[in-house]
Structures are given as C-alpha cells and as structure tokens.
C-alpha cells in the first residue's frame, strides 16, 4: 500500500534531484562522494607518479631487518642486532612509560595547585596563580629544553661519585643524582622456581600475590561495611589490612631471596654501574610535561570546585555533615563530574606532547621509529604512517575510555 506522500511512479523529474529535499541530500552526497574520490585519486596518482619517478616503492620489509643502533633506556631486551620493529616496540614502551609517569605527577601537581589557588592565603593564592600563568603561556618545547638544560648544567657530573674517595657520597648510601640521571638500587630475586636464578616468572608471581592481597583487602573492607550497616559499629580493619598487604610480600621475598643491586661507584671509571638508571632525558621530559600540564589541570580543578554551587555545601552543612564529609560526599563527587573529562583530554595531550622527546634525546617512538629508523632506512612515508597509526590508536583508546566514563557519570534524569 502506498501512502499519499509517495510520488506516483514515473512522475520523477530530473529537477527533483535539486529541488526536492528528499532527493537533494542524496544528490549532494553523490557529488561529495565523487569530489572526494577524485581528490583522493588525484593525490594517489601524484604519489604514484612521484614514487615511480624517484624509483621508490612502499614497503614495510625494513621493519624486519636489523636496526643496527643502540638505545640507552629500554624496558625490554634490545641490542643493535634487534629488528627495526623491536626498536619501535622499545619506543612505544618508552612513550607509554613517560606518559604514565607524567600523568600521575601532573595530576598530583594540578590538584595541589588548583586547590591552593582557592586557598584563603593571599600569598599562596598569588604564587599558584603565577605558576599557572607562567607555565600555561610558554610553549612546552621551551620548557622541555629549559629543564633539560637545568638538569645537565646544575646537577653534578657522574664522575663526582666515582672512585675510592669520591667528591660526593651516595645519598643515603643508595641514590646518586647526576646530570646523566638518577641511579638507584634495583630489586632482583636470587632464587627462581625449582632452583636457579630468579627470572621474569618471579615478577609475574609477585604481581599475582599483590592481586590476591588486593582481593583479600577488599573482602575485609566489605565485611566491615556489612557489620557497620548491621550494628552501626565499624570494626577497626587497619591492622588486618596491613597484614594482608605486607605479610605475603615479606614471605614471598624471603622464599625467593629478594635482594638489591646497588649502584657501584668502583666498577667503572665513567659511570656508576648496576642498579636502575633513570636517564636525564626521561627526567627532563617527565618533569616538563608534568609541570606544564599540571598548570592546565590546576585550572580544571579550580573550575570544577567552583562549579559546585555554594548551596550544595550549605545544604550539606544543614544536614549536619562534618566539613570533611561535605567535601568527600557532596562537593567532590559533583566536582569530579566537571573535572574528569578535561582531565582525560589533558592525559591525551601529555601522550601527544611526549613526542617532543626528540628535543632531548629520549628514545620514545618518535625518536626511534620516526627518528633514527627513518634516517637510516630513508623510508619516510612508511615510518611517518606507522607513527601516526600508533598515536591514533592511543588517542582513540583514551577517547573510548572517556566515553564509557561520561556515559556512566551522566546525570540520571527522569
């Protein structure tokens, strides 16, 4: 059965493609599709012609061949014989490392500065305003370079710690702060499973133990909650929780012989050997991203707290809530709704800005795949495409997390 609005068969005229709103959007889209296809074809044909003229081709086989260069800060096993692909993985892990570190410290710094900007102490308020304005209004590249320069120019050289009678002793006997980075003890296990040296398996086991502790602690908290609801008295769970977290750790370390690899000032005439070294480029990038983004987060936090109307605080106080309860039960949950979405996009910015690692020689993905590998293989198009793909995947994942969060935090309006 045809409805009245359907035009009779055969009455279609060509002019309707333009004038009838039902067809016009189809026409427009068809035109757009053709234009888009033409534009893409134009670009593609240029690319093909240029590559043909230069005798080049697009090929990703360079990823499998050996990279040939060394990287100083790697999270996984890597040497100059490893493939370019592995070098890229090292870069990806380094990017994620500095991004996660910077996200944590930037959040802490930002929350502090944001809360202090609302302090009733005039000097502190102004100081924090100064911090926010100064760091927000100067490019992050300049900050990265300045902090890297501060690190290299102001910190003592590594050689000050070396030798039988060094100019400086290790701080607390275990730490060394030098212009090459921070040296500190590295934990390792002397006994592996079934005898022998400790291995990665030990660390996996350790994580399993920690996860078990987490669930144990949660069970205790829940039972305490139930008891509180039933009787109104909350049992003190602090000691039990402490035991649940610490005891398994202690037992685990004893069984597998946890020990510490100390930085050794005597092994070498150039550097401290052993322990963990956190390189100066990583520290510079980490600090610079933290304080730069911290200034933005401070503004978000301030706006979030100010967005909760005074009436909410007053109403909560009228209900008889104590000030810390007002903060934790009324103000903060509402402020977080405002703070978290921009906070997550700041995390995204940190990840993207970590690509400036190239300015200080930190081996992130831009410096390995987009830097040395690109230089050495000359495969510019392939490297840049892969680089963009990586950042795109990261960004889209973070956006997906943000969407899930936004949906769950949406005001339930009925």
Partner 1 sequence: MSDTHEHSIAFVRTTEIAQQPAPLNAAGPVKWMRDNLFATWANALLTVAAAYVLFLLISSTLPWIWGGLWTTSSLSECREILQGQSAACFSVLTERWNQLLFGFKYPAEFYWRPTVALVLMFFALAPVLFFDLPRKLLIITALFPFAAYWLIWGGTIWTPLFAMLGFVVGYFVYARYVSNNFALGFFGGVAAAIVTWYLSGFIVSAIAPSQPLLAAVPSRDLGGFMLNLMLGLTCVSLSIPLGIALALGRQSSMPLIKWVCVIFIEFIRGVPLITLLFVASVMLAYFFPPEATVDLFLRVVIMITMFSAAYIAEVIRGGLAALPKGQYEAADSLGLDYAQAMRLIILPQALKISIPGIVNIAVGLFKDTTLVSVISMFDLVGMIRGPILASTDWNGVYWELLGFAAVLFFIVCYGISQYSQWLERRLATDHR
Partner 2 sequence: MKKSIILGALTIAGLSAVAASAATVDDVKARGTLNCGVTTGLVGFAAPDANGEWVGFDVAVCRAVAAAVLGDATAVEFIPTTGKTRFTALSSGEIDLLARNTTWTFSRDTDLKFDFVGVNYYDGQGFLVPKALGVSSAKDLDGATVCIQTGTTTELNLADFFRANNISYEPVPIETNAEAIQQYLAGACDAYTTDASGLAASRATFETPGDHVILPEIVSKEPLGPVVRHGDNDWGDIVMWTLNALITAEELGVTSANVAEMVTSTTNPEVARLLGTEGDLGAMIGLDAEWAKRAIETQGNYGEIFAKNIGEETPIGLARGLNAQWTNGGLLYSPPFR
Tokens representing residue 285 in the block: 């990038």
What minimum distance in Å lies between the beta carbon of 345 and partner 1? 9
**329 in contact with partner 2 (CB under 8 A):** no
Binding residue (CB under 8 A) for partner 1 from 1, 4, 53, 239? 53
* Number of shown-chain residues binding partner 2 (CB under 8 A): 42
User: How far apart, in whole angstroms, are the C-alpha atoms of residue 276 and residue 322?
Assistant: 46
What minimum distance in Å lies between the beta carbon of 290 and partner 2? 21
Mask of contacts with partner 1, 350-389, x by CB under 8 A?
Answer: --xx-xx-xx------x---x---x-----xx--x--xx-
What minimum distance in Å lies between the beta carbon of 260 and partner 2? 21
State how far Cα 299 lies from the chain centre. Answer: 20
Mask of contacts with partner 1, 138-157, x by CB under 8 A?
Answer: xxxxx--xx--x---x----
Contacts of 380 (CB under 8 A, 6+ apart): 374
**372 in contact with partner 2 (CB under 8 A):** yes
Helix (H) or strand (E) holding 232: none
What minimum distance in Å lies between the beta carbon of 179 and partner 1? 14
Q: Per CB under 8 A, which of residues 174..193 are in contact with partner 1?
A: none
Binding residue (CB under 8 A) for partner 2 from 30, 60, 70, 210? 70
Tokens representing residue 258 in the block: 């946890």
Our CB check for partner 1 shows the closer of 89 and 184 to be: 89
Sheet with strand 176-178: strands edge to edge:
176-178, 181-184, 276-279
Task: Identify whether the C-beta of residue 285 lies closer than 8 Å to the C-beta of residue 103.
Answer: no
Least Cα distance to 364 among 380, 352, 378 occurs for: 352
**359 in contact with partner 2 (CB under 8 A):** yes
**69 in contact with partner 2 (CB under 8 A):** yes
The 8-class DSSP code of residue 66 comes to B
Our CB check for partner 2 shows the closer of 70 and 197 to be: 70
Please give the full DSSP string across 364-387, using - where no structure is assigned.
-HHHIIIIIIHHHH--HHHHHHHH
**317 in contact with partner 1 (CB under 8 A):** no
Q: Which does 267 bind (CB under 5 to 8 A by kind): partner 2, partner 1, none?
A: partner 2
Q: Residue 20, SS3?
A: coil
User: How far apart, in whole angstroms, are the C-alpha atoms of residue 337 and residue 89?
Assistant: 35
Our CB check for partner 2 shows the closer of 246 and 380 to be: 380
Q: Which runs of consecutive H residues, i.e. helices, occur in 257-309?
A: 280-307
Contacts of 17 (CB under 8 A, 6+ apart): 23, 24, 26, 27
What minimum distance in Å lies between the beta carbon of 29 and partner 1? 4
Mask of contacts with partner 2, 174-193, x by CB under 8 A?
Answer: -----xx-------------
Q: How far is CA 302 from CA 6, 120, 326, 342, in A?
A: 57, 14, 17, 12
The bridge status of strand 186-189 relative to strand 181-184 is unpaired
Residue with tokens 């005229």: 13
- Binding residues for partner 1 (CB under 8 A): 25, 28-29, 32-33, 36, 43, 46-47, 49-51, 53, 119-124, 127, 133-134, 136-142, 145-146, 149, 153, 352-353, 355-356, 358-359, 366, 370, 374, 380-381, 384, 387-388, 391-392, 394-396, 399
- Binding residues for partner 2 (CB under 8 A): 50, 53-56, 68-72, 79-81, 149, 152-153, 157-159, 179-180, 267-271, 273, 279-281, 358-359, 361, 363, 367, 371-372, 374-376, 378, 380
């Amino acid at each position: 059965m045809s409805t009245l609005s359907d035009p009779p068969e055969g009455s279609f005229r060509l002019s309707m493609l333009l004038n009838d709103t039902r067809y016009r959007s189809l026409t427009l889209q068809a035109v757009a599709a053709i234009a888009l296809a033409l534009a893409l074809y134009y670009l593609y044909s240029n690319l093909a012609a240029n590559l043909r003229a230069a005798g080049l081709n697009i090929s990703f086989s360079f990823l499998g061949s050996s990279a040939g260069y060394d990287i100083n800060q790697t999270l996984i096993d890597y040497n100059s014989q490893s493939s370019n692909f592995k070098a890229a993985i090292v870069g990806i892990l380094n990017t994620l490392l500095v991004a996660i570190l910077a996200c944590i410290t930037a959040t802490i710094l930002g929350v502090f500065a944001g809360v202090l900007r609302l302090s009733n102490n005039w000097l502190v308020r102004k100081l924090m305003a100064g911090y926010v304005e100064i760091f927000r209004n100067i490019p992050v590249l300049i900050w990265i370079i300045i902090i890297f320069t501060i690190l290299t120019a102001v910190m003592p050289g590594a050689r000050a710690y070396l030798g039988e009678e060094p100019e400086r002793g290790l701080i607390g006997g275990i730490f060394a702060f030098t212009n090459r980075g921070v040296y500190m003890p590295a934990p390792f296990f002397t006994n592996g499973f079934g005898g022998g040296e400790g291995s990665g398996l030990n660390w996996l086991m350790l994580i399993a133990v920690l996860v078990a502790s987490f669930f144990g602690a949660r069970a205790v908290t829940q039972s305490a909650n139930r008891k509180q609801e039933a009787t109104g008295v909350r049992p003190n769970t602090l000691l039990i929780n402490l035991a649940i977290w610490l005891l398994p750790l202690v037992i685990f370390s004893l069984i597998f012989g946890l020990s510490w690899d100390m930085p050794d000032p005597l092994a070498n005439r150039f550097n401290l050997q052993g322990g963990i070294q956190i390189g100066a480029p990583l520290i510079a990038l980490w600090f610079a991203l933290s304080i730069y983004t911290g200034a933005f987060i401070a503004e978000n936090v301030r706006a979030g707290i100010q967005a909760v109307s005074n009436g909410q605080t007053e109403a909560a106080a009228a209900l008889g809530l104590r000030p810390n309860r007002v903060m934790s039960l009324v103000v903060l949950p509402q402020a977080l709704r405002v703070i978290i979405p921009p906070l997550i996009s700041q995390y995204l910015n940190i990840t993207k800005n970590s690509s400036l690692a190239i300015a200080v020689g930190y081996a992130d993905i831009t410096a390995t795949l987009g830097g040395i590998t690109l230089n050495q293989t000359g495969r510019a198009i392939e490297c840049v495409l892969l680089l963009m793909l990586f950042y795109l995947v990261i960004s889209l994942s973070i956006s997906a997390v943000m969407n899930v969060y936004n949906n769950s935090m949406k005001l339930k309006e009925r």
